[in-house]
Amino acid sequence: MTTMTLSQTQTWVVAPTLTPTDWLPATLKSINDYLAGGSPEEILRWGVETFAPDLALATGFGPEGVVLLHLISHIAPETTIFYLDTDLLFPETYALRDELEARLGIKFTRVHSGLSLEAQAAEHGPELWARDPNLCCYLRKVEPLRKFLATKRAWVTGIRRDQTRQRANTGLVEWDLPNGLVKLNPLAAWINDQVWEHIRAHDLPFNKLHRQGYPSIGCWPCTRAVAPGEDPRAGRWAAFDKTECGIHLPTDAIVVPTEKVHG
Protein backbone atom coordinates (compact mmCIF):
# COMPACT_ATOMS: atom_id res chain seq x y z
CA MET A 1 0.00 0.00 0.00
CA THR A 2 1.31 3.42 -0.91
CA THR A 3 1.50 5.67 2.10
CA MET A 4 1.88 9.39 2.45
CA THR A 5 2.06 11.81 5.30
CA LEU A 6 -1.35 13.37 5.58
CA SER A 7 -0.03 16.41 7.38
CA GLN A 8 1.85 17.32 4.19
CA THR A 9 -1.42 17.71 2.35
CA GLN A 10 -4.57 19.68 2.79
CA THR A 11 -5.94 20.04 6.31
CA TRP A 12 -9.64 19.47 6.86
CA VAL A 13 -11.50 21.65 9.26
CA VAL A 14 -14.60 19.92 10.58
CA ALA A 15 -17.37 21.83 12.27
CA PRO A 16 -17.44 21.13 16.04
CA THR A 17 -21.12 20.23 15.88
CA LEU A 18 -21.86 17.83 13.09
CA THR A 19 -25.18 17.35 11.43
CA PRO A 20 -26.01 15.07 8.51
CA THR A 21 -25.81 18.07 6.18
CA ASP A 22 -22.13 18.45 7.04
CA TRP A 23 -21.62 15.04 5.49
CA LEU A 24 -23.16 15.32 2.09
CA PRO A 25 -21.81 12.83 -0.48
CA ALA A 26 -19.51 15.43 -2.05
CA THR A 27 -17.92 16.23 1.32
CA LEU A 28 -17.48 12.57 2.14
CA LYS A 29 -15.90 11.91 -1.24
CA SER A 30 -13.40 14.73 -0.72
CA ILE A 31 -12.42 13.45 2.71
CA ASN A 32 -12.18 9.86 1.49
CA ASP A 33 -10.00 10.98 -1.43
CA TYR A 34 -7.82 12.87 1.01
CA LEU A 35 -7.44 9.91 3.36
CA ALA A 36 -7.09 7.26 0.64
CA GLY A 37 -3.31 7.44 0.50
CA GLY A 38 -2.89 7.24 4.26
CA SER A 39 -1.99 4.26 6.39
CA PRO A 40 -4.53 3.01 8.96
CA GLU A 41 -2.45 4.73 11.63
CA GLU A 42 -2.66 8.06 9.80
CA ILE A 43 -6.38 7.68 9.21
CA LEU A 44 -6.94 6.84 12.86
CA ARG A 45 -4.84 9.81 13.92
CA TRP A 46 -6.97 12.05 11.69
CA GLY A 47 -10.06 10.68 13.41
CA VAL A 48 -8.64 11.41 16.87
CA GLU A 49 -7.55 14.92 15.90
CA THR A 50 -10.92 15.65 14.33
CA PHE A 51 -13.36 14.15 16.82
CA ALA A 52 -11.76 13.48 20.23
CA PRO A 53 -13.00 13.32 22.92
CA ASP A 54 -16.33 12.49 21.22
CA LEU A 55 -14.85 9.48 19.47
CA ALA A 56 -15.31 5.81 20.40
CA LEU A 57 -13.50 2.78 19.01
CA ALA A 58 -15.49 -0.44 18.77
CA THR A 59 -14.05 -3.92 18.84
CA GLY A 60 -15.39 -7.45 18.69
CA PHE A 61 -11.87 -8.74 19.49
CA GLY A 62 -11.24 -10.04 15.98
CA PRO A 63 -7.81 -9.67 14.34
CA GLU A 64 -8.77 -6.30 12.86
CA GLY A 65 -9.72 -5.10 16.32
CA VAL A 66 -6.36 -6.21 17.67
CA VAL A 67 -4.63 -4.06 15.02
CA LEU A 68 -6.76 -1.00 15.81
CA LEU A 69 -6.29 -1.44 19.55
CA HIS A 70 -2.54 -1.63 19.07
CA LEU A 71 -2.58 1.57 16.97
CA ILE A 72 -4.84 3.53 19.32
CA SER A 73 -2.74 2.48 22.32
CA HIS A 74 0.09 4.51 20.76
CA ILE A 75 -1.92 7.38 19.30
CA ALA A 76 -4.43 8.13 22.06
CA PRO A 77 -4.84 5.39 24.69
CA GLU A 78 -7.37 7.55 26.56
CA THR A 79 -9.87 7.06 23.70
CA THR A 80 -13.16 5.42 24.65
CA ILE A 81 -12.80 1.79 23.56
CA PHE A 82 -15.86 -0.39 23.84
CA TYR A 83 -17.25 -3.82 23.07
CA LEU A 84 -20.79 -5.13 22.92
CA ASP A 85 -21.19 -7.78 25.59
CA THR A 86 -24.03 -10.05 24.51
CA ASP A 87 -23.39 -12.42 27.44
CA LEU A 88 -22.74 -15.00 24.75
CA LEU A 89 -19.11 -14.46 23.80
CA PHE A 90 -16.70 -17.39 23.91
CA PRO A 91 -14.57 -17.78 27.06
CA GLU A 92 -11.54 -17.39 24.77
CA THR A 93 -12.84 -13.97 23.69
CA TYR A 94 -13.22 -12.74 27.27
CA ALA A 95 -9.70 -14.04 27.97
CA LEU A 96 -8.35 -12.07 25.00
CA ARG A 97 -10.09 -8.94 26.29
CA ASP A 98 -8.21 -9.24 29.58
CA GLU A 99 -4.92 -10.01 27.85
CA LEU A 100 -5.23 -6.96 25.58
CA GLU A 101 -5.93 -4.66 28.51
CA ALA A 102 -2.82 -5.90 30.30
CA ARG A 103 -0.59 -5.87 27.21
CA LEU A 104 -1.65 -2.54 25.67
CA GLY A 105 -2.48 -0.52 28.78
CA ILE A 106 -6.00 0.29 27.59
CA LYS A 107 -9.39 0.05 29.28
CA PHE A 108 -12.53 -1.38 27.70
CA THR A 109 -16.00 0.00 28.22
CA ARG A 110 -18.57 -2.80 28.37
CA VAL A 111 -21.77 -1.98 26.49
CA HIS A 112 -24.69 -4.20 27.44
CA SER A 113 -28.35 -4.33 26.52
CA GLY A 114 -29.48 -4.45 30.14
CA LEU A 115 -31.50 -7.46 29.09
CA SER A 116 -30.42 -10.67 30.80
CA LEU A 117 -30.60 -13.94 28.92
CA GLU A 118 -33.27 -15.05 31.37
CA ALA A 119 -35.40 -11.95 30.73
CA GLN A 120 -34.98 -12.37 26.98
CA ALA A 121 -36.08 -16.00 27.22
CA ALA A 122 -39.08 -15.04 29.33
CA GLU A 123 -40.18 -12.41 26.83
CA HIS A 124 -39.24 -14.02 23.51
CA GLY A 125 -38.80 -17.70 24.31
CA PRO A 126 -35.66 -19.77 24.88
CA GLU A 127 -32.69 -19.66 22.52
CA LEU A 128 -34.00 -16.78 20.44
CA TRP A 129 -30.81 -16.91 18.36
CA ALA A 130 -31.85 -20.31 17.01
CA ARG A 131 -35.27 -19.03 15.84
CA ASP A 132 -34.92 -15.34 15.08
CA PRO A 133 -31.27 -14.24 15.07
CA ASN A 134 -32.17 -10.85 13.57
CA LEU A 135 -34.27 -10.02 16.61
CA CYS A 136 -31.66 -11.43 18.98
CA CYS A 137 -28.93 -9.32 17.33
CA TYR A 138 -31.20 -6.29 17.41
CA LEU A 139 -31.84 -6.66 21.13
CA ARG A 140 -28.30 -7.53 22.19
CA LYS A 141 -26.21 -5.53 19.68
CA VAL A 142 -27.96 -3.03 17.41
CA GLU A 143 -30.09 -1.21 19.98
CA PRO A 144 -27.44 -1.06 22.75
CA LEU A 145 -24.97 0.29 20.19
CA ARG A 146 -27.40 2.99 19.05
CA LYS A 147 -27.93 4.13 22.64
CA PHE A 148 -24.22 4.13 23.43
CA LEU A 149 -23.29 6.13 20.33
CA ALA A 150 -25.96 8.77 20.95
CA THR A 151 -23.46 10.97 22.81
CA LYS A 152 -20.60 10.53 20.33
CA ARG A 153 -19.69 12.36 17.11
CA ALA A 154 -17.79 9.51 15.50
CA TRP A 155 -16.95 5.86 15.98
CA VAL A 156 -14.20 3.63 14.63
CA THR A 157 -14.68 0.09 13.35
CA GLY A 158 -12.40 -2.62 11.98
CA ILE A 159 -14.48 -3.66 8.99
CA ARG A 160 -12.76 -4.40 5.67
CA ARG A 161 -14.15 -4.30 2.13
CA ASP A 162 -13.27 -7.87 1.27
CA GLN A 163 -14.99 -9.44 4.30
CA THR A 164 -18.51 -9.63 2.86
CA ARG A 165 -20.48 -8.56 -0.18
CA GLN A 166 -22.26 -5.93 1.90
CA ARG A 167 -18.94 -4.42 2.97
CA ALA A 168 -17.49 -4.14 -0.55
CA ASN A 169 -18.15 -0.40 -0.82
CA THR A 170 -17.12 0.55 2.71
CA GLY A 171 -15.64 4.04 2.83
CA LEU A 172 -12.76 5.12 5.04
CA VAL A 173 -15.19 7.71 6.38
CA GLU A 174 -18.97 7.36 6.17
CA TRP A 175 -22.07 8.97 7.57
CA ASP A 176 -23.74 6.30 9.72
CA LEU A 177 -27.35 7.19 9.11
CA PRO A 178 -29.02 4.73 11.55
CA ASN A 179 -26.84 5.90 14.43
CA GLY A 180 -26.52 9.54 13.36
CA LEU A 181 -22.75 10.03 13.50
CA VAL A 182 -19.58 9.62 11.48
CA LYS A 183 -18.13 6.14 11.05
CA LEU A 184 -14.42 5.71 10.47
CA ASN A 185 -13.10 2.46 8.96
CA PRO A 186 -9.29 2.78 8.88
CA LEU A 187 -8.77 -0.82 7.70
CA ALA A 188 -11.38 -0.73 4.91
CA ALA A 189 -8.76 -1.11 2.17
CA TRP A 190 -6.64 -3.74 3.89
CA ILE A 191 -6.77 -7.43 3.07
CA ASN A 192 -6.62 -10.28 5.57
CA ASP A 193 -2.88 -10.88 5.03
CA GLN A 194 -2.03 -7.30 5.98
CA VAL A 195 -3.93 -7.66 9.24
CA TRP A 196 -2.06 -10.80 10.20
CA GLU A 197 1.30 -9.37 9.08
CA HIS A 198 0.74 -6.50 11.52
CA ILE A 199 -0.18 -8.90 14.33
CA ARG A 200 2.89 -11.04 13.70
CA ALA A 201 5.23 -8.05 13.28
CA HIS A 202 4.24 -6.69 16.69
CA ASP A 203 3.76 -10.06 18.39
CA LEU A 204 0.21 -9.13 19.40
CA PRO A 205 -2.17 -11.55 21.15
CA PHE A 206 -5.15 -12.94 19.26
CA ASN A 207 -8.09 -15.22 19.94
CA LYS A 208 -6.93 -18.81 20.45
CA LEU A 209 -9.94 -20.05 18.49
CA HIS A 210 -8.34 -18.76 15.27
CA ARG A 211 -5.97 -21.73 15.50
CA GLN A 212 -8.92 -24.11 15.82
CA GLY A 213 -10.73 -23.32 12.56
CA TYR A 214 -12.59 -20.17 13.57
CA PRO A 215 -11.47 -17.34 11.25
CA SER A 216 -14.47 -15.18 12.24
CA ILE A 217 -15.77 -15.25 15.81
CA GLY A 218 -18.98 -13.87 17.24
CA CYS A 219 -21.36 -15.25 19.86
CA TRP A 220 -20.85 -18.93 20.59
CA PRO A 221 -24.39 -20.08 19.60
CA CYS A 222 -23.96 -18.50 16.15
CA THR A 223 -20.37 -19.42 15.33
CA ARG A 224 -18.92 -22.72 14.15
CA ALA A 225 -15.52 -23.75 12.83
CA VAL A 226 -15.08 -23.74 9.05
CA ALA A 227 -13.43 -26.36 6.88
CA PRO A 228 -10.22 -25.58 4.96
CA GLY A 229 -11.12 -23.63 1.82
CA GLU A 230 -14.53 -22.59 3.11
CA ASP A 231 -15.53 -18.92 3.15
CA PRO A 232 -14.02 -17.44 6.34
CA ARG A 233 -17.43 -16.16 7.46
CA ALA A 234 -19.30 -19.37 6.57
CA GLY A 235 -19.28 -20.29 10.24
CA ARG A 236 -21.36 -17.26 11.25
CA TRP A 237 -25.13 -17.90 11.46
CA ALA A 238 -24.48 -21.01 9.37
CA ALA A 239 -28.08 -22.22 9.61
CA PHE A 240 -29.50 -18.92 8.32
CA ASP A 241 -29.33 -16.65 5.29
CA LYS A 242 -27.61 -14.03 7.44
CA THR A 243 -24.09 -12.65 7.21
CA GLU A 244 -24.24 -9.50 9.35
CA CYS A 245 -25.50 -8.80 12.85
CA GLY A 246 -26.93 -5.49 11.63
CA ILE A 247 -24.52 -2.93 13.04
CA HIS A 248 -22.52 -2.63 9.81
CA LEU A 249 -25.21 -2.98 7.18
CA PRO A 250 -25.61 -0.31 4.51
CA THR A 251 -28.59 1.88 5.26
CA ASP A 252 -30.59 0.33 2.44
CA ALA A 253 -30.14 -3.15 3.89
CA ILE A 254 -30.94 -2.71 7.57
CA VAL A 255 -32.40 -5.80 9.18
CA VAL A 256 -35.85 -5.19 10.55
CA PRO A 257 -36.79 -7.41 13.50
CA THR A 258 -39.59 -9.80 12.74
CA GLU A 259 -41.50 -9.17 15.93
CA LYS A 260 -42.00 -6.33 18.35
CA VAL A 261 -38.83 -5.62 20.28
CA HIS A 262 -38.32 -5.31 23.99
CA GLY A 263 -39.22 -1.82 25.24
Residues found near ligand SF4 in the complex (CB under 6 A): 86, 88, 129, 133, 136-137, 140-141, 218-219, 221-222, 245
- Residue from 136, 137, 219, 245 carrying the catalytic annotation: 245
Is the bond into 221 cis (omega within 30 degrees of 0)? no
Instruction: For ligand SF4, give the closer residue by CB, 186 or 215.
Output: 215
- CB 35, CB 46: distance < 8 Å: yes
Instruction: For ligand SF4, give the closer residue by CB, 50 or 179.
Output: 179
Work out how close the CB of 126 gets to ligand SF4 at its nearest, in angstroms, rounded to a whole number: 12
Instruction: For ligand SF4, give the closer residue by CB, 50 or 164.
Output: 164
Work out how close the CB of 224 gets to ligand SF4 at its nearest, in angstroms, rounded to a whole number: 12
Instruction: For ligand SF4, give the closer residue by CB, 76 or 88.
Output: 88
Residue nearest to ligand SF4 (CB): 219
Work out how close the CB of 84 gets to ligand SF4 at its nearest, in angstroms, rounded to a whole number: 8
Work out how close the CB of 14 gets to ligand SF4 at its nearest, in angstroms, rounded to a whole number: 33
- CB 189, CB 3: distance < 8 Å: no
219 is catalytic: no
Work out how close the CB of 196 gets to ligand SF4 at its nearest, in angstroms, rounded to a whole number: 24
The DSSP-derived string for the chain is -----GGGSPPP---SS--GGGG-HHHHHHHHHHHTTS-HHHHHHHHHHHHTTSEEEE--SSHHHHHHHHHHHHH-TTSEEEEE--S-B-HHHHHHHHHHHHHHT--EEEE--S--HHHHHHHH-S-HHHH-HHHHHIIIIIHHHHHHHTT-SEEE----TTS-GGGTT--SEEEETTTTEEEE-TTTT--HHHHHHHHHHTT----GGGGGT-SS--BGGGB----TTS-TTTTBSTTSS----SSS--GGGPPPPSSPPP-
Work out how close the CB of 139 gets to ligand SF4 at its nearest, in angstroms, rounded to a whole number: 7
User: Exposure string (b/e) for 28-55, b if CB count within 10 Å is 16 or more?
Assistant: beebeebbeebbbbbbbbbbbbbbeebb
Instruction: For ligand SF4, give the closer residue by CB, 51 or 61.
Output: 61
Instruction: For ligand SF4, give the closer residue by CB, 47 or 60.
Output: 60
**Catalytic residue IDs:** 245
